[in-house]
Chain A
Amino acid sequence: MQTPVDRTDPGALRGLGESCTTPAEVLLRVSNIDVYYGSLQVLCDVSLEVRSGEIVAIAGANGAGKSTLLKTISGLMHPAIGSIEFAGRDVTRLNAYDIVSQGISQVPEGRRLFPEMTVLQNLMIGSYNRSARPRREQNLARVYELFPILKERRNQVAKTLSGGQQQMVAIGRGLMADPKLIIIDEMSLGLSPLIVTELFRVLHEIQARGVTVLLVEQNVWQTLHEADRAYVLETGRMVLSGNAIDLRQEEQVRNAYFGA
Protein backbone atom coordinates (compact mmCIF):
# COMPACT_ATOMS: atom_id res chain seq x y z
CA MET A 1 0.00 0.00 0.00
CA GLN A 2 1.53 3.25 -1.07
CA THR A 3 1.16 6.28 1.15
CA PRO A 4 1.40 9.57 -0.76
CA VAL A 5 4.38 11.74 0.04
CA ASP A 6 3.43 15.05 1.57
CA ARG A 7 5.26 17.90 -0.06
CA THR A 8 3.85 20.63 2.11
CA ASP A 9 4.26 19.34 5.62
CA PRO A 10 7.83 18.39 6.39
CA GLY A 11 6.96 17.29 9.88
CA ALA A 12 4.04 15.02 9.12
CA LEU A 13 4.07 11.81 11.02
CA ARG A 14 3.87 8.59 9.03
CA GLY A 15 4.10 5.29 10.78
CA LEU A 16 6.29 2.73 9.08
CA GLY A 17 4.21 -0.24 9.98
CA GLU A 18 0.47 -0.76 9.90
CA SER A 19 0.10 -0.82 13.67
CA CYS A 20 -1.10 2.21 15.51
CA THR A 21 1.72 3.54 17.66
CA THR A 22 1.73 6.60 19.85
CA PRO A 23 3.67 9.37 18.14
CA ALA A 24 7.25 9.53 19.40
CA GLU A 25 8.25 12.85 20.92
CA VAL A 26 9.84 15.43 18.69
CA LEU A 27 13.46 15.72 19.74
CA LEU A 28 14.70 18.31 17.29
CA ARG A 29 12.54 20.92 15.64
CA VAL A 30 13.98 23.32 13.11
CA SER A 31 11.42 25.98 12.20
CA ASN A 32 11.63 28.15 9.10
CA ILE A 33 15.25 29.12 9.30
CA ASP A 34 17.10 31.42 6.95
CA VAL A 35 20.88 31.13 7.08
CA TYR A 36 23.39 33.42 5.44
CA TYR A 37 27.12 33.25 4.72
CA GLY A 38 27.82 36.96 4.88
CA SER A 39 25.29 38.38 2.46
CA LEU A 40 24.79 35.13 0.57
CA GLN A 41 21.63 33.30 1.56
CA VAL A 42 22.32 29.58 1.80
CA LEU A 43 19.17 28.30 3.46
CA CYS A 44 15.65 29.58 2.84
CA ASP A 45 12.69 28.80 5.06
CA VAL A 46 14.02 25.40 6.08
CA SER A 47 12.13 23.29 8.54
CA LEU A 48 12.56 19.76 9.75
CA GLU A 49 11.74 17.48 12.63
CA VAL A 50 13.53 14.56 14.13
CA ARG A 51 11.68 12.28 16.51
CA SER A 52 13.21 10.30 19.32
CA GLY A 53 14.58 6.96 18.15
CA GLU A 54 14.50 7.68 14.42
CA ILE A 55 17.16 7.61 11.79
CA VAL A 56 16.47 10.67 9.64
CA ALA A 57 18.41 11.50 6.51
CA ILE A 58 18.91 14.75 4.65
CA ALA A 59 19.72 14.09 1.02
CA GLY A 60 20.78 16.58 -1.55
CA ALA A 61 23.40 17.40 -4.12
CA ASN A 62 26.62 19.22 -3.44
CA GLY A 63 26.00 22.82 -2.60
CA ALA A 64 22.39 22.24 -1.59
CA GLY A 65 23.16 23.57 1.86
CA LYS A 66 23.23 20.31 3.82
CA SER A 67 26.43 21.05 5.71
CA THR A 68 25.27 24.57 6.47
CA LEU A 69 22.08 23.13 7.90
CA LEU A 70 24.06 20.80 10.14
CA LYS A 71 26.41 23.56 11.24
CA THR A 72 23.42 25.67 12.18
CA ILE A 73 21.88 22.85 14.20
CA SER A 74 25.20 22.29 15.99
CA GLY A 75 25.60 25.95 16.80
CA LEU A 76 28.63 26.69 14.65
CA MET A 77 26.38 29.04 12.70
CA HIS A 78 23.20 30.84 13.63
CA PRO A 79 20.05 31.49 11.63
CA ALA A 80 19.03 35.04 10.76
CA ILE A 81 15.39 34.10 11.07
CA GLY A 82 13.66 31.09 12.55
CA SER A 83 14.25 28.88 15.53
CA ILE A 84 15.73 25.60 16.61
CA GLU A 85 14.30 23.63 19.49
CA PHE A 86 15.92 20.62 21.08
CA ALA A 87 14.31 18.46 23.77
CA GLY A 88 11.88 21.26 24.43
CA ARG A 89 14.52 23.99 24.78
CA ASP A 90 15.25 26.87 22.47
CA VAL A 91 18.82 26.40 21.34
CA THR A 92 18.81 28.87 18.44
CA ARG A 93 21.37 31.25 19.92
CA LEU A 94 23.51 28.73 21.78
CA ASN A 95 27.16 28.38 20.83
CA ALA A 96 28.43 25.04 19.60
CA TYR A 97 30.33 24.30 22.79
CA ASP A 98 27.19 24.79 24.87
CA ILE A 99 24.90 22.76 22.63
CA VAL A 100 26.95 19.61 23.18
CA SER A 101 25.92 19.38 26.81
CA GLN A 102 22.29 19.73 25.74
CA GLY A 103 22.63 16.37 24.04
CA ILE A 104 23.54 17.04 20.41
CA SER A 105 26.81 15.62 19.12
CA GLN A 106 28.10 16.18 15.60
CA VAL A 107 30.42 13.96 13.62
CA PRO A 108 31.87 16.47 11.17
CA GLU A 109 32.30 16.03 7.44
CA GLY A 110 35.70 14.56 6.62
CA ARG A 111 35.96 12.98 10.08
CA ARG A 112 38.09 15.87 11.44
CA LEU A 113 39.91 13.77 14.00
CA PHE A 114 42.59 15.53 16.02
CA PRO A 115 45.42 14.33 13.82
CA GLU A 116 48.30 14.16 16.28
CA MET A 117 46.23 12.61 19.05
CA THR A 118 45.79 8.86 19.45
CA VAL A 119 42.55 6.96 18.91
CA LEU A 120 42.01 6.77 22.66
CA GLN A 121 42.76 10.47 23.15
CA ASN A 122 40.31 11.36 20.41
CA LEU A 123 37.65 9.23 22.05
CA MET A 124 38.32 10.64 25.50
CA ILE A 125 38.12 14.25 24.40
CA GLY A 126 34.69 13.36 23.06
CA SER A 127 33.47 13.20 26.65
CA TYR A 128 34.83 16.64 27.49
CA ASN A 129 31.41 18.17 28.12
CA ARG A 130 30.35 18.03 31.75
CA SER A 131 27.27 15.90 31.32
CA ALA A 132 29.22 13.19 29.53
CA ARG A 133 32.10 12.87 31.98
CA PRO A 134 30.42 10.72 34.63
CA ARG A 135 29.66 7.98 32.10
CA ARG A 136 32.96 8.14 30.29
CA GLU A 137 34.18 4.63 31.06
CA GLN A 138 30.83 3.02 30.22
CA ASN A 139 30.61 4.90 26.95
CA LEU A 140 34.16 3.94 26.09
CA ALA A 141 33.35 0.28 26.69
CA ARG A 142 30.31 0.61 24.42
CA VAL A 143 32.36 2.23 21.67
CA TYR A 144 34.87 -0.63 21.86
CA GLU A 145 31.97 -3.07 21.58
CA LEU A 146 30.68 -1.36 18.47
CA PHE A 147 34.15 -1.00 16.95
CA PRO A 148 36.49 -3.67 18.33
CA ILE A 149 39.30 -2.60 16.06
CA LEU A 150 39.47 0.72 17.87
CA LYS A 151 40.36 -1.05 21.07
CA GLU A 152 43.19 -2.83 19.28
CA ARG A 153 44.51 0.40 17.83
CA ARG A 154 43.76 2.70 20.72
CA ASN A 155 47.32 4.01 20.95
CA GLN A 156 47.71 4.60 17.26
CA VAL A 157 47.98 8.21 16.14
CA ALA A 158 44.81 9.26 14.36
CA LYS A 159 46.34 10.59 11.17
CA THR A 160 47.85 7.18 10.40
CA LEU A 161 44.50 5.39 10.28
CA SER A 162 42.66 4.41 7.13
CA GLY A 163 39.55 6.33 6.05
CA GLY A 164 37.17 3.71 7.34
CA GLN A 165 38.93 3.46 10.69
CA GLN A 166 38.96 7.23 11.01
CA GLN A 167 35.23 7.30 10.43
CA MET A 168 34.79 4.74 13.18
CA VAL A 169 36.82 6.89 15.57
CA ALA A 170 34.81 9.95 14.54
CA ILE A 171 31.51 8.21 15.23
CA GLY A 172 32.89 6.75 18.46
CA ARG A 173 34.06 10.17 19.53
CA GLY A 174 30.60 11.54 18.82
CA LEU A 175 29.06 8.82 20.98
CA MET A 176 31.43 9.61 23.86
CA ALA A 177 29.58 12.90 24.25
CA ASP A 178 26.66 10.82 25.55
CA PRO A 179 24.24 12.41 23.09
CA LYS A 180 20.51 12.07 22.67
CA LEU A 181 20.97 13.01 19.02
CA ILE A 182 24.02 12.25 16.92
CA ILE A 183 24.44 14.14 13.67
CA ILE A 184 26.67 12.61 11.01
CA ASP A 185 27.84 14.67 8.06
CA GLU A 186 28.70 12.68 4.92
CA MET A 187 29.62 9.42 6.58
CA SER A 188 30.22 7.54 3.36
CA LEU A 189 32.51 10.07 1.69
CA GLY A 190 35.53 8.32 0.24
CA LEU A 191 34.73 4.95 1.77
CA SER A 192 34.15 1.62 0.07
CA PRO A 193 30.57 0.26 -0.11
CA LEU A 194 31.54 -2.61 2.16
CA ILE A 195 32.68 -0.29 4.91
CA VAL A 196 29.66 1.96 4.45
CA THR A 197 27.32 -1.02 4.87
CA GLU A 198 29.13 -1.95 8.06
CA LEU A 199 28.85 1.60 9.35
CA PHE A 200 25.11 1.62 8.65
CA ARG A 201 24.82 -1.61 10.60
CA VAL A 202 26.47 0.16 13.52
CA LEU A 203 24.06 3.06 13.15
CA HIS A 204 21.15 0.67 13.58
CA GLU A 205 22.79 -0.69 16.70
CA ILE A 206 23.20 2.84 18.00
CA GLN A 207 19.55 3.45 17.24
CA ALA A 208 18.62 0.30 19.14
CA ARG A 209 20.45 1.67 22.15
CA GLY A 210 18.28 4.76 22.17
CA VAL A 211 20.34 7.33 20.32
CA THR A 212 18.57 9.26 17.59
CA VAL A 213 20.46 9.71 14.33
CA LEU A 214 20.41 12.55 11.82
CA LEU A 215 22.41 11.90 8.68
CA VAL A 216 23.49 14.00 5.80
CA GLU A 217 24.41 11.99 2.76
CA GLN A 218 25.22 12.30 -0.88
CA ASN A 219 24.86 8.54 -1.21
CA VAL A 220 21.10 8.76 -1.56
CA TRP A 221 20.28 5.22 -2.65
CA GLN A 222 21.82 3.41 0.29
CA THR A 223 20.67 6.07 2.73
CA LEU A 224 17.05 5.71 1.69
CA HIS A 225 17.34 1.99 2.43
CA GLU A 226 18.71 2.57 5.91
CA ALA A 227 16.88 5.64 7.19
CA ASP A 228 13.36 5.81 8.56
CA ARG A 229 12.49 9.20 7.15
CA ALA A 230 14.23 11.60 4.84
CA TYR A 231 14.25 15.15 3.64
CA VAL A 232 15.50 16.38 0.33
CA LEU A 233 17.29 19.71 0.20
CA GLU A 234 17.76 21.52 -3.07
CA THR A 235 19.58 24.87 -3.33
CA GLY A 236 18.73 25.87 0.19
CA ARG A 237 15.11 24.74 0.30
CA MET A 238 13.37 21.61 1.53
CA VAL A 239 11.62 20.22 -1.50
CA LEU A 240 10.56 16.77 -0.35
CA SER A 241 10.05 14.86 2.83
CA GLY A 242 8.52 11.63 3.98
CA ASN A 243 9.17 8.02 4.80
CA ALA A 244 12.25 6.64 3.19
CA ILE A 245 10.27 3.81 1.60
CA ASP A 246 7.93 6.26 -0.08
CA LEU A 247 10.68 8.56 -1.22
CA ARG A 248 12.42 5.66 -2.90
CA GLN A 249 9.42 5.33 -5.21
CA GLU A 250 9.06 9.03 -5.77
CA GLU A 251 9.48 10.02 -9.40
CA GLN A 252 11.43 13.19 -8.65
CA VAL A 253 13.91 11.40 -6.43
CA ARG A 254 14.41 8.58 -8.88
CA ASN A 255 15.11 10.97 -11.70
CA ALA A 256 17.35 13.27 -9.75
CA TYR A 257 19.44 10.71 -7.96
CA PHE A 258 19.08 7.34 -9.56
CA GLY A 259 19.13 8.36 -13.18
CA ALA A 260 16.46 5.80 -14.14
Chain B
Amino acid sequence: MEGLAGLASPIAIGLLLGGLYVVIALGLSLVFGVVKVINVAHGDIVVLGSYFAWVLLTNLGVDPMLTVLVGAPVFFGLGILVERFLLHRAIKKSADAALIVAFGLSLIIQNAIQWKWTPYSRQLGTSYMLESFAIGGLRIPLVYVLDFAAALVVMVVMHQFLKRTYLGQAITAASQDRQTAELMGINPARVYAIAFGIAMALAAIAGVFLGMTFPFTPTFGPSVLIIAFGVVILGGLGNMVGTFLGGMIFGLSQTLGGHFLGPTGQQLVPFAMVLVVLTIRPQGLFGR
Protein backbone atom coordinates (compact mmCIF):
# COMPACT_ATOMS: atom_id res chain seq x y z
CA MET B 1 0.00 0.00 0.00
CA GLU B 2 2.82 2.34 0.85
CA GLY B 3 4.44 2.05 -2.59
CA LEU B 4 1.11 2.45 -4.36
CA ALA B 5 0.02 5.51 -2.42
CA GLY B 6 3.33 7.09 -3.30
CA LEU B 7 2.45 6.66 -6.98
CA ALA B 8 -0.39 9.15 -6.96
CA SER B 9 1.91 12.13 -6.97
CA PRO B 10 4.18 11.10 -9.84
CA ILE B 11 1.17 10.04 -11.87
CA ALA B 12 -0.57 13.35 -11.37
CA ILE B 13 2.55 15.38 -12.07
CA GLY B 14 3.41 13.19 -15.05
CA LEU B 15 0.05 13.79 -16.66
CA LEU B 16 0.09 17.50 -16.03
CA LEU B 17 3.65 17.86 -17.24
CA GLY B 18 2.60 15.90 -20.28
CA GLY B 19 0.43 18.88 -21.11
CA LEU B 20 3.49 21.06 -21.46
CA TYR B 21 5.09 18.46 -23.70
CA VAL B 22 2.01 18.40 -25.90
CA VAL B 23 2.21 22.13 -26.51
CA ILE B 24 5.91 21.80 -27.27
CA ALA B 25 5.30 18.98 -29.72
CA LEU B 26 2.36 20.52 -31.59
CA GLY B 27 4.47 23.10 -33.39
CA LEU B 28 6.95 20.50 -34.59
CA SER B 29 4.16 18.21 -35.69
CA LEU B 30 2.42 20.97 -37.62
CA VAL B 31 5.49 21.97 -39.58
CA PHE B 32 6.38 18.41 -40.41
CA GLY B 33 2.85 17.52 -41.40
CA VAL B 34 2.25 20.51 -43.62
CA VAL B 35 5.57 21.79 -44.89
CA LYS B 36 7.18 18.37 -44.68
CA VAL B 37 10.27 19.77 -43.02
CA ILE B 38 11.80 18.63 -39.74
CA ASN B 39 12.32 21.94 -38.05
CA VAL B 40 15.40 21.24 -35.97
CA ALA B 41 15.29 24.81 -34.74
CA HIS B 42 11.97 24.19 -33.06
CA GLY B 43 13.39 23.61 -29.59
CA ASP B 44 15.46 26.77 -29.85
CA ILE B 45 12.42 28.78 -30.91
CA VAL B 46 10.63 27.51 -27.82
CA VAL B 47 13.55 28.65 -25.67
CA LEU B 48 13.55 31.96 -27.50
CA GLY B 49 9.95 32.24 -26.41
CA SER B 50 11.04 31.66 -22.83
CA TYR B 51 13.62 34.43 -23.10
CA PHE B 52 11.07 36.72 -24.74
CA ALA B 53 8.83 36.27 -21.72
CA TRP B 54 11.78 36.67 -19.38
CA VAL B 55 12.80 39.99 -20.94
CA LEU B 56 9.26 41.33 -20.66
CA LEU B 57 9.04 40.12 -17.08
CA THR B 58 12.32 41.53 -15.80
CA ASN B 59 12.29 44.79 -17.72
CA LEU B 60 8.62 45.64 -17.82
CA GLY B 61 7.17 43.46 -15.12
CA VAL B 62 4.79 41.83 -17.57
CA ASP B 63 3.24 38.67 -16.18
CA PRO B 64 4.18 35.63 -18.29
CA MET B 65 0.57 34.69 -18.79
CA LEU B 66 0.03 38.04 -20.50
CA THR B 67 3.19 37.54 -22.52
CA VAL B 68 1.52 34.54 -24.11
CA LEU B 69 -0.98 36.90 -25.69
CA VAL B 70 1.76 39.16 -26.99
CA GLY B 71 4.33 36.53 -27.88
CA ALA B 72 2.02 34.41 -29.99
CA PRO B 73 1.21 37.08 -32.61
CA VAL B 74 4.78 38.38 -32.64
CA PHE B 75 6.20 34.93 -33.24
CA PHE B 76 3.47 34.26 -35.79
CA GLY B 77 4.61 37.26 -37.80
CA LEU B 78 8.26 36.25 -37.44
CA GLY B 79 7.39 32.74 -38.58
CA ILE B 80 5.76 34.02 -41.75
CA LEU B 81 8.79 36.15 -42.55
CA VAL B 82 11.24 33.32 -41.87
CA GLU B 83 9.28 30.91 -44.03
CA ARG B 84 8.74 33.26 -46.90
CA PHE B 85 12.24 34.65 -47.16
CA LEU B 86 14.42 31.90 -45.80
CA LEU B 87 12.86 28.48 -45.63
CA HIS B 88 10.83 28.65 -48.80
CA ARG B 89 13.84 28.92 -51.07
CA ALA B 90 15.52 26.08 -49.22
CA ILE B 91 12.45 23.87 -49.50
CA LYS B 92 12.35 24.47 -53.22
CA LYS B 93 15.90 23.23 -53.52
CA SER B 94 15.55 20.07 -51.46
CA ALA B 95 14.50 18.63 -48.14
CA ASP B 96 18.14 18.52 -47.10
CA ALA B 97 18.57 22.21 -47.81
CA ALA B 98 15.64 23.01 -45.55
CA LEU B 99 17.14 20.86 -42.81
CA ILE B 100 20.44 22.69 -43.06
CA VAL B 101 18.78 26.09 -42.96
CA ALA B 102 16.82 25.04 -39.88
CA PHE B 103 20.02 23.81 -38.28
CA GLY B 104 21.67 27.12 -39.07
CA LEU B 105 18.74 28.93 -37.50
CA SER B 106 19.14 26.80 -34.43
CA LEU B 107 22.78 27.79 -34.03
CA ILE B 108 22.07 31.45 -34.67
CA ILE B 109 19.30 31.55 -32.10
CA GLN B 110 21.33 29.75 -29.45
CA ASN B 111 24.33 31.99 -29.85
CA ALA B 112 22.34 35.18 -30.16
CA ILE B 113 20.62 34.40 -26.87
CA GLN B 114 23.92 33.57 -25.19
CA TRP B 115 25.48 36.75 -26.44
CA LYS B 116 22.62 38.97 -25.41
CA TRP B 117 21.51 37.43 -22.17
CA THR B 118 24.49 35.39 -20.96
CA PRO B 119 24.64 31.63 -20.45
CA TYR B 120 23.27 31.84 -16.91
CA SER B 121 20.21 29.83 -16.16
CA ARG B 122 16.95 31.77 -15.92
CA GLN B 123 13.44 31.10 -14.80
CA LEU B 124 10.15 32.89 -15.09
CA GLY B 125 9.34 33.36 -11.46
CA THR B 126 6.19 35.01 -10.24
CA SER B 127 4.59 34.95 -6.85
CA TYR B 128 1.75 32.64 -7.73
CA MET B 129 4.15 30.14 -9.27
CA LEU B 130 5.02 28.89 -5.82
CA GLU B 131 1.42 28.22 -4.89
CA SER B 132 0.24 24.68 -4.80
CA PHE B 133 -3.09 22.97 -4.54
CA ALA B 134 -3.98 20.29 -2.13
CA ILE B 135 -6.07 17.73 -3.96
CA GLY B 136 -6.92 14.44 -2.33
CA GLY B 137 -3.84 14.40 -0.17
CA LEU B 138 -1.50 15.47 -2.95
CA ARG B 139 0.27 18.78 -3.29
CA ILE B 140 0.16 19.93 -6.91
CA PRO B 141 2.10 23.05 -7.82
CA LEU B 142 -0.02 25.57 -9.72
CA VAL B 143 2.49 25.68 -12.56
CA TYR B 144 1.74 22.11 -13.59
CA VAL B 145 -1.97 22.74 -13.61
CA LEU B 146 -1.39 25.77 -15.81
CA ASP B 147 0.72 23.63 -18.17
CA PHE B 148 -2.10 21.17 -18.57
CA ALA B 149 -4.73 23.86 -18.93
CA ALA B 150 -2.60 25.48 -21.64
CA ALA B 151 -2.45 22.20 -23.51
CA LEU B 152 -6.22 21.83 -23.43
CA VAL B 153 -6.86 25.39 -24.58
CA VAL B 154 -4.29 25.22 -27.37
CA MET B 155 -5.62 21.89 -28.57
CA VAL B 156 -9.22 23.01 -28.63
CA VAL B 157 -8.35 26.21 -30.48
CA MET B 158 -6.18 24.40 -33.04
CA HIS B 159 -8.80 21.73 -33.58
CA GLN B 160 -11.54 24.27 -34.19
CA PHE B 161 -9.29 26.28 -36.46
CA LEU B 162 -8.28 23.29 -38.57
CA LYS B 163 -11.76 21.81 -38.82
CA ARG B 164 -14.01 24.81 -39.09
CA THR B 165 -12.20 27.51 -41.01
CA TYR B 166 -11.47 27.59 -44.72
CA LEU B 167 -7.83 28.37 -43.96
CA GLY B 168 -7.56 25.48 -41.55
CA GLN B 169 -9.06 23.08 -44.06
CA ALA B 170 -6.79 24.53 -46.74
CA ILE B 171 -3.76 23.75 -44.56
CA THR B 172 -5.05 20.23 -43.98
CA ALA B 173 -5.71 19.71 -47.68
CA ALA B 174 -2.33 21.08 -48.75
CA SER B 175 -0.63 18.73 -46.31
CA GLN B 176 -2.37 15.73 -47.89
CA ASP B 177 -2.08 16.61 -51.57
CA ARG B 178 -0.36 19.82 -52.50
CA GLN B 179 -1.03 19.80 -56.23
CA THR B 180 -4.73 19.00 -55.91
CA ALA B 181 -5.00 21.71 -53.26
CA GLU B 182 -3.80 24.15 -55.93
CA LEU B 183 -6.65 22.99 -58.13
CA MET B 184 -9.00 24.03 -55.35
CA GLY B 185 -7.68 27.57 -55.46
CA ILE B 186 -5.32 27.13 -52.52
CA ASN B 187 -1.97 28.92 -52.79
CA PRO B 188 0.52 26.45 -51.31
CA ALA B 189 3.22 29.06 -50.64
CA ARG B 190 0.80 31.11 -48.59
CA VAL B 191 -0.40 28.04 -46.72
CA TYR B 192 3.13 26.99 -45.87
CA ALA B 193 3.98 30.44 -44.56
CA ILE B 194 0.88 30.53 -42.37
CA ALA B 195 1.45 27.02 -41.07
CA PHE B 196 4.99 27.91 -40.11
CA GLY B 197 3.76 31.11 -38.47
CA ILE B 198 1.28 29.12 -36.41
CA ALA B 199 3.99 26.66 -35.44
CA MET B 200 6.18 29.48 -34.19
CA ALA B 201 3.29 30.99 -32.28
CA LEU B 202 2.78 27.60 -30.65
CA ALA B 203 6.49 27.52 -29.84
CA ALA B 204 6.24 30.92 -28.19
CA ILE B 205 3.34 29.74 -26.03
CA ALA B 206 5.24 26.57 -25.17
CA GLY B 207 8.25 28.71 -24.28
CA VAL B 208 6.35 30.75 -21.74
CA PHE B 209 5.02 27.69 -19.96
CA LEU B 210 8.36 25.95 -20.21
CA GLY B 211 10.03 28.93 -18.61
CA MET B 212 7.57 28.86 -15.74
CA THR B 213 8.09 25.14 -15.17
CA PHE B 214 11.82 24.66 -15.57
CA PRO B 215 14.94 26.80 -15.46
CA PHE B 216 16.31 27.41 -18.93
CA THR B 217 19.60 28.32 -20.60
CA PRO B 218 20.44 29.38 -24.15
CA THR B 219 21.47 25.84 -25.04
CA PHE B 220 18.35 24.20 -23.67
CA GLY B 221 16.84 24.08 -27.17
CA PRO B 222 18.10 20.67 -28.31
CA SER B 223 16.77 19.05 -25.12
CA VAL B 224 13.40 20.57 -25.84
CA LEU B 225 13.56 19.39 -29.44
CA ILE B 226 14.26 15.87 -28.27
CA ILE B 227 11.22 15.93 -26.03
CA ALA B 228 9.13 17.11 -28.96
CA PHE B 229 10.51 14.29 -31.11
CA GLY B 230 9.79 11.78 -28.37
CA VAL B 231 6.18 12.90 -28.05
CA VAL B 232 5.62 12.86 -31.78
CA ILE B 233 7.19 9.44 -32.20
CA LEU B 234 5.17 7.99 -29.33
CA GLY B 235 1.86 9.47 -30.37
CA GLY B 236 2.28 9.42 -34.11
CA LEU B 237 1.79 12.16 -36.63
CA GLY B 238 -1.45 13.22 -38.10
CA ASN B 239 -3.84 13.70 -35.25
CA MET B 240 -4.00 15.77 -32.17
CA VAL B 241 -5.36 13.04 -29.97
CA GLY B 242 -2.25 11.04 -30.77
CA THR B 243 -0.01 13.95 -29.86
CA PHE B 244 -1.95 14.46 -26.64
CA LEU B 245 -1.63 10.83 -25.62
CA GLY B 246 2.01 10.88 -26.65
CA GLY B 247 2.58 13.78 -24.31
CA MET B 248 0.82 12.05 -21.47
CA ILE B 249 2.82 8.89 -21.93
CA PHE B 250 6.07 10.82 -22.15
CA GLY B 251 5.33 12.79 -19.01
CA LEU B 252 4.20 9.71 -17.13
CA SER B 253 7.24 7.69 -18.10
CA GLN B 254 9.43 10.54 -16.88
CA THR B 255 7.86 10.86 -13.47
CA LEU B 256 7.28 7.16 -12.91
CA GLY B 257 10.75 6.41 -14.18
CA GLY B 258 12.09 8.92 -11.72
CA HIS B 259 9.97 7.49 -8.93
CA PHE B 260 11.20 3.94 -9.36
CA LEU B 261 14.67 4.44 -10.73
CA GLY B 262 15.74 7.85 -9.54
CA PRO B 263 17.02 10.74 -11.65
CA THR B 264 18.57 8.43 -14.25
CA GLY B 265 15.24 6.73 -14.65
CA GLN B 266 13.69 10.08 -15.35
CA GLN B 267 15.91 10.51 -18.38
CA LEU B 268 16.08 6.90 -19.40
CA VAL B 269 12.56 5.54 -19.29
CA PRO B 270 10.88 7.96 -21.70
CA PHE B 271 13.46 7.35 -24.38
CA ALA B 272 13.45 3.63 -23.78
CA MET B 273 9.73 3.82 -24.49
CA VAL B 274 10.37 5.83 -27.64
CA LEU B 275 12.78 3.16 -28.85
CA VAL B 276 10.28 0.42 -28.11
CA VAL B 277 7.54 2.20 -30.03
CA LEU B 278 9.88 2.89 -32.94
CA THR B 279 10.64 -0.80 -33.12
CA ILE B 280 7.21 -2.32 -32.84
CA ARG B 281 5.03 0.43 -34.31
CA PRO B 282 7.03 3.06 -36.15
CA GLN B 283 4.06 5.15 -37.17
CA GLY B 284 3.42 5.89 -33.52
CA LEU B 285 0.89 4.35 -31.16
CA PHE B 286 -1.94 6.36 -32.70
CA GLY B 287 -0.44 7.44 -35.97
CA ARG B 288 -1.77 6.76 -39.46
Measured CB to CB, the residues of A under 8 A from B are 74-76, 95-98, 100-101, 105-106, 108, 112, 114-117, 121, 124-126, 128-130, 132-133, 173, 177
Contact = CB atoms under 8 A, between A and B. Distances in A.
Contacts of B173: 114, 117, 125
B186 interface: yes
Contacts, number: 69
B172 A117 contact: yes
Interface in B25-50: none
A125 B184 contact: yes
A112 B172 contact: no
Given A100-B183, A125-B184, 10 more contacts: A76-B183, A96-B183, A97-B185, A100-B184, A112-B177, A114-B176, A116-B238, A125-B169, A126-B184, A177-B184
A118 to B, nearest CB: 10
Contacts of A130: 185
B-side binding surface: helix, strand, loop or mixed? helix
Please indicate which of the listed interface residues B169, B180, B181 has the most CB atoms of chain A within 10 Å of its own CB: B180
Nearest to B180: A112
Interface string B166-179: 10011011001101
20 contacts: A74-B183, A76-B179, A76-B182, A95-B187, A96-B182, A96-B183, A97-B187, A105-B183, A108-B179, A108-B180, A108-B183, A114-B176, A114-B181, A117-B169, A117-B172, A121-B169, A125-B169, A125-B184, A128-B169, A129-B184
The 8 closest A-B pairs by CB, nearest first: A129-B185, A100-B185, A96-B182, A112-B180, A114-B176, A97-B187, A128-B184, A128-B185
Nearest to B190: A97
B116 interface: no
B288 interface: yes
Contacts of A74: 183
B179 A128 contact: no
Nearest to A133: B166
